[in-house]
């Protein structure tokens, strides 16, 4: 499975390196603008960085989905599916590569954001002691008073973990939708097969979200910060379950129903 992950990396490494170089260049532009006190430099750099971060996550997600779809549709991945690895190993190698790429991107972007944060507040001569408590009442109705920075950090980490797992769940859902379409339309290509994949994808997303809301209740009903953290933790567990189920179903269909 590690060799399959290495194969996935080789297919995407050029774009990933370009994104990394672009991020480094924007970071240098931001830092230079802050030090030179030139808003015309650091403001565009920060805005472009936000777009690049969003685009990077979209690319990481879509590259795995498009690769899987193309390999099933055009049979260009026959060497992958014929290696002495169970189909679940093939599916997991693609999903794990997507997860590791997203985690690596988060680490790089997080490090850059931290350095920007430190540099900006040093440049503005803001006392770090003022940041020990932050008033979020204007952003979150459930927060009625200032919160310790540690609790805010815990909430941010929980939200980040949930977002990463939701990214994986989206990838697993897309894999299952593509595999279902390939199962029903063996050896056929064209618009109808792609449309069927999109239909399966949206039905699976809608069904999974409806089931999650039925089990846990909507996130907007959280009455306190602790309730919100518990709801996010439960959502993390539910999405992990969905991810495992959808990945297993995709592998089972590949093994039993799809002509590779």
Residue-wise pLDDT for 167-181, tens only, equals 899 999 999 999 888
Q: Is 238 helix (H, G, I), strand (E, B) or coil?
A: helix
Can you give the pLDDT at residue 84?
A: 61
pLDDT at 143 over 50: no
Token duo for residue 205: 């997303």
Question: How many CA atoms lie within 13 Å of 44's alpha carbon, on the beta-carbon side?
Answer: 6
Arithmetic mean of pLDDT, 109-119: 76
Residue 142: what pLDDT?
Answer: 46
Give pTM, 2 decimals.
Answer: 0.77
Q: Which helix (H) or strand (E) holds 113?
A: helix 87-123
Is there a contact between 162 and 232 (Cβ–Cβ < 8 Å)? yes
Measured between alpha carbons, how far is residue 237 from residues 162, 205, 244 in Å?
9, 16, 11
CB atoms within 10 A of CB 64: 22
Residue 76 burial class via C-beta count within 10 angstroms: exposed 0-12, middle 13-18, buried 19 and up: exposed
pLDDT band at residue 232 under the 50/70/90 scheme = confident
33-44 tens-digit pLDDT: 877 777 788 788
pLDDT of residue 242: 92
What ranges do the domains of the chain cover?
Answer: 1-127, 132-260
- Cα–Cα distance measured from residue 103 to residue 94, given in angstroms and rounded to the nearest whole number: 14
pLDDT band per the 50, 70, 90 thresholds, residue 235 = confident
Q: Give the SS3 label for residue 85.
A: coil
Q: What is the pLDDT of residue 194?
A: 80
Give the mean pLDDT of the chain: 78
Q: Is the pLDDT of residue 214 over 90?
A: no
Which pLDDT does position 241 carry in this prediction? Answer: 92
Using a pLDDT cut of 70, give the percent of the chain over it. Answer: 73
Q: What is the mean pLDDT of residues 216-223?
A: 65
Q: Are 31 and 119 in contact (CB under 8 A)?
A: yes
pLDDT digits 0-9 by tens, 51-78: 998 899 999 989 889 888 887 776 655 4
Could you tell me the two tokens for 103? 């985690």
115: number of Cβ within 10 Å? 13
Q: How far apart are CA 246 and CA 169, in angstroms?
A: 8
């Amino acid at each position: 499975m590690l060799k399959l992950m290495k194969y996935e990396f080789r297919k995407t490494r050029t774009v990933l390196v370009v994104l990394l170089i672009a991020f480094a260049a924007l970071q240098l532009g931001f830092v230079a603008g802050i030090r030179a006190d030139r808003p015309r430099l650091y403001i565009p750099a920060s805005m472009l960085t936000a777009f690049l971060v969003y685009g990077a996550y979209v690319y990481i997600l879509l590259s795995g989905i498009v690769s899987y779809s193309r390999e099933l549709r055009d049979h260009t991945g026959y060497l992958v599916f014929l290696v002495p690895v169970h189909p679940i190993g093939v599916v997991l190698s693609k999903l794990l590569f997507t997860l590791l790429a997203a985690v690596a991107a988060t680490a790089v972007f997080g490090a850059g954001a931290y350095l920007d944060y430190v540099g900006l507040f040093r440049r503005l001569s803001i006392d770090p002691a003022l940041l020990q408590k932050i008033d979020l009442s204007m952003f979150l109705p459930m927060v009625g008073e200032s919160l310790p920075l540690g609790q805010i950090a815990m909430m941010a980490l929980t939200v980040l973990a949930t977002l990463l797992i939701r990214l994986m769940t989206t990838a697993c859902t897309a894999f299952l939708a593509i595999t279902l379409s390939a199962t029903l339309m063996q050896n056929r290509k064209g618009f109808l097969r792609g449309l069927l994949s999109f239909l399966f994808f949206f039905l699976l997303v809608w069904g999974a979200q409806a089931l999650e809301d039925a089990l846990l209740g909507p996130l907007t009903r959280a009455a306190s910060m602790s309730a919100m953290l518990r709801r996010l933790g439960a959502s993390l567990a539910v999405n992990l379950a969905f991810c495992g189920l959808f990945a297993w179903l995709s592998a089972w269909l590949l093994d039993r129903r799809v002509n590779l």
